[in-house]
Structure 1
Amino acid sequence: MPARRTWLSAATVFLICALALAGWLLGGRDQPKGGAPAAGPGTSPLQNPDGTRPGLAPLATAEDRRAGRELIAQVATAAAGPRDGYDRGEFGPAWTDSVEGVPFGGNKCDTRNDLLARDGTAVERKDGSDCVVTAMTIRDPYTGQTVRWSKQQAGKIQIDHVMPLSYDWQMGAAAWDRAKRVRIANDPLNLIPADGSQNASKGDSGPAAWLPADPAIHCSYAVRFAQVSLKYRLPVTEADKKAMLRLCDG
């Protein structure tokens, strides 16, 4: 009997160790300290035409970059108009959920929190809320860094308008009705959560004057800019279009 009990105990220990190893191989390897899952690399803009999928991934293959150039080539050009009369309020209340004709609109959650939830992993929400994001892990496409964000550091991650609203105004949105301006301001295709300092440095610049810090994302950024331009039939400047095409060379 003692020998049999010893054999059973050894078998039990072996089984426990094997199960623990299998669990680590299947799911534990990619867990950073603290148990939060690693943020994903984002989605290719070519596979995300409505902006509902998370993030922005690089276009690394020659085939994808060629497809990006073909899309950019469709963008119209024009000289920028005056900035006179521009005000953020012309595009509606910031991050309003009262918007029709764009994904996530009218879902009882404001646009900012929709975008944080779209791009974040290990998302935590305010107690009793299905909307308000209080913490998350996010892969910032503009710097290539993975960031653990909390609401106490709200400015660390900001929502960037890919085609800035002032730029939109100068390229034709000044003549739109208010409803269309509210749409472009809250359309997930035109919105990317990114490093706050990157968003601040961009201002209302187009791709000829400003690009994300990470060169790996430049072509994808140009394609996303083109997607917004084409959807809203907004031209870009000649300099911006040339820059966008150049970014997807190779």
Structure 2
Amino acid sequence: MKRYLLFIFFAFLFSNDIDASIVKKSKSGICHDENTPYYARTKNFHSFNSIKSCLESGGRLPKRQGKPSGSKQAIPDKIPQQLADRSEYSRNKFGNGWADEDGDCQNSRMEALISQSLVEVRFKSNRMCKVESGKWISPFTGNTIFKASEIDIDHVVPLSWAWKHGANKWTNEKRIKFANDPANLLSVESSLNRSKGDKGPDEWLPPKNQCQYILRFQRVYKTYELNLSKLEADKISSLKKSYCG
């Protein structure tokens, strides 16, 4: 009986040592090391030998946790931190939808539709808050669009793209300004805006007017001093030469 109890005791000690040496990725995708309060409670998990490998698999850090202490599992400065920043992006970091900065009931979507229509727009009511129709030439295709409901307002430099390239360190006021800046807004077909998603010119270009699009993209990201990797900058420079001559 004593031998059995000793066996159980040492088995328990060694199992704890083994458990504490791994990083647990929970079912919800959170990477826990032994420094997090939920480490012991996490029973269903995939194991990794470091925070880095857990993050690279698509995991994320617990909220309000910075870099873990200890050199063994400290997060390197580049790739894993970029993954962590990416997981924190949400649309409301750039304001609660379209802003109405002057309080005239026309938010920045409506103002973009009004300013970019080739004819005087029609409104849905006498309050003149929501645009119903007009005439827009899509800079992505050259197609003519008459119904406002068929238009998306494209962020030339997407919000998520901006977040990954430096906007995560901006103030809330600067992010709201960026999301509603007329220089960054285009009236385009809904389908093309959604196919573009959060891609930069190195991953996506419109079917037409590629040169104008690249130049507009460059103007916006340079105005806001966003940071490109050398690979991205070289690819955009090469595209500019190809499409703009």
| TM-score range for the pair, normalised by the shorter chain length | 0.5 to 0.7
Corresponding position of 1:112? 109
Higher relative contact order, structure no. (Cα contacts within 8 Å, ≥ 6 residues apart): 1
Segments of 5+ residues of structure 2 without an aligned counterpart are 1-77
Q: 1:231 Cα shift?
A: 1.2
Who is 2:6 aligned against? none
The residue aligned with 1:18 is: none
The structural deviation recorded for 1:108 is 4.2
Q: Partner residue of 2:96?
A: 93
Unmatched 5+ residue regions in structure 1?
Answer: 1-77, 99-104
Whole-angstrom distance in 2 between the partners of 1:194 and 1:202: 11
CA distance in structure 1 between the aligned counterparts of 2:216 and 2:82, rounded to whole angstroms: 22
Pick one of 139, 145, 148 that aligns with 2:146: 148
Task: Supply the AA of the counterpart residue of 1:245.
Answer: S
What is the identity percentage for the equivalent residue pairs of Structure 1 and Structure 2? 36
Alignment pair present for 1:210 and 2:210: no
Equivalent residue runs for 1:226-237 within 5 Å: 226-237=218-229
- Corresponding residue for 2:239? 247
The alpha-carbon deviation at position 248 of structure 1 amounts to 2.9
Q: Highest CA radius of gyration, 1 or 2?
A: 2
* Root mean square deviation of aligned Cα: 2.1
Superposition deviation, residue 84 in structure 1: 1.9
TM-score, length basis structure 2: 0.61
SS of residue paired to 2:145: strand
Query: Contact between 1:136 and 1:149, CA under 8 Å: does it hold in 2?
Result: yes
Structure 1 ranges of 4+ moved more than 4 A: 105-108
Give 1:179's aligned residue. 173
**Aligned equivalent of 2:75:** none
Amino acid at match of 1:196: S
Residues 1:243 and 1:218: Cα distance change in structure 2 (over 3 Å): farther
For 1:116 and 1:161, the matched residues in 2 are separated by 13
Match of 1:164 among 158, 163, 168: 158
AA paired with 2:184? N
Report the counterpart of residue 81 of structure 1 in structure 2: 82
SS in 2 for 1:206: coil
Give deviations 1:58-116, integer Å, cap 9, x for gaps. Answer: xxxxxxxxxxxxxxxxxxxx999331210001111111113xxxxxx555420010001
1:148 maps to a residue whose letter is: F
